[in-house]
Amino acid sequence: MPRQKELHPLPIMRLDYRWSLDFDGPLPLTARHHRYVLMMVDHFSKWIELVALPNKASEGVAYALLDRVLSHFGAPAEVLTDQGTEFQVEFQVLCDKILIDHRTASRDHPEADGLAKRVVQTVKRALRNTLSESYAYSV
């Protein structure tokens, strides 16, 4: 049997060096017709940016990164995502133009982006609690 390769954590060099991006949804439709939440997390500070989006289109993800991360914090050296189609096309073009190294987590090892996965679970729990409380009050 072939020996499994050992996983090594990605080094965190400095503030704003690496951001992880991941989606949560589909969620209940909002008044502004949003169904998804894009979560962007800085690996060093654990700063979280949440952006509500109507869909998982690549151009929306590229704009959200530009508007919420690049314009406030500058360009990171790396962006870590899963291999979803929402992180291709326009998103990849933006990363290439700004010279951001776009890294993707392996399908076999989604834990490679464990920070983003933990944020997704925390936000899901918070949204479920908020949505169930607002539903209870509206009944």
Q: What is the reported pLDDT for 55?
A: 95
Report the alpha-carbon angle 116-114-86, nearest 5.
45
Question: Tokens 């209870």 appear where?
Answer: 136
Report residues of the chain scoring pLDDT below 50.
135-139
Q: What is the reported pLDDT for 30?
A: 84
Pick 18-137's CATH classification: 3.30.420.10, 3.90.76.10, 3.50.50.60, 2.40.30.20. 3.30.420.10
Q: What is the reported pLDDT for 63?
A: 96
Q: What is the reported pLDDT for 53?
A: 95
Query: How is 18-40 classified by DSSP, letter by letter?
Result: EEEEEEE------TT---EEEEE
Q: Give the residue from 5, 43, 6, 37 showing the smallest Cα distance to 22.
A: 37
Q: Does the N-terminal peptide bond of residue 110 adopt cis geometry, omega within 30 degrees of 0? A: no
In what helix (H) or strand (E) does residue 131 lie, and over which residues does it extend? helix 114-138
